[in-house]
Amino acid sequence: MKPEIKKTEFGSITTADQTFEHDIIIRLDGKVKKRKKKLSKAIFGTSHVVSVDEIKEVYEKGAEEIIIGSGQYGELRLSDEAKKYLKDRKCRIELEPTPEAIKHWNSSKAKALGLFHVTC
């Protein structure tokens, strides 16, 4: 079951039962995992650009969309290769600053994955 996200502040995100002080991934089964930023940092030197290697770790077969919270100020972006990987799998991409992305997450009826960046 998809967990509801209650709020986000700079440096944290809160679901119905837990506050996380790091970026998170939400799987199709509703499990919340820590984002593996090192996969993107190794390629781009920053975790503000999501690499195709990282998106391959996040993506799950059957996902209709991925909702990406790009940070409190919208700094995170997808690499062109990551966008292509998702589009080739017919997975819609919703990329918005994290406060707006959590509204989309909570209202989405799609089989969705979540990636939420909690700083800038």
Q: Read off the pTM.
A: 0.96
d(CA 104, CA 87) in angstroms, rounded, equals: 19
Q: Which pair of tokens denotes residue 37?
A: 């930023």
What are the chain's domains? Answer: 5-117 (3.40.1230.10)
Confidence of residue 17 (pLDDT cuts 50, 70, 90): confident
- Alpha carbons within 13 angstroms on the beta-carbon side of residue 85 total 18
Confidence of residue 108 (pLDDT cuts 50, 70, 90): very high
How do strand 65-70 and strand 19-20 relate by DSSP bridges?
Answer: unpaired
Smallest CA-to-CA distance from 76 within 105, 55, 91 is with 55
d(CA 28, CA 4) in angstroms, rounded, equals: 13
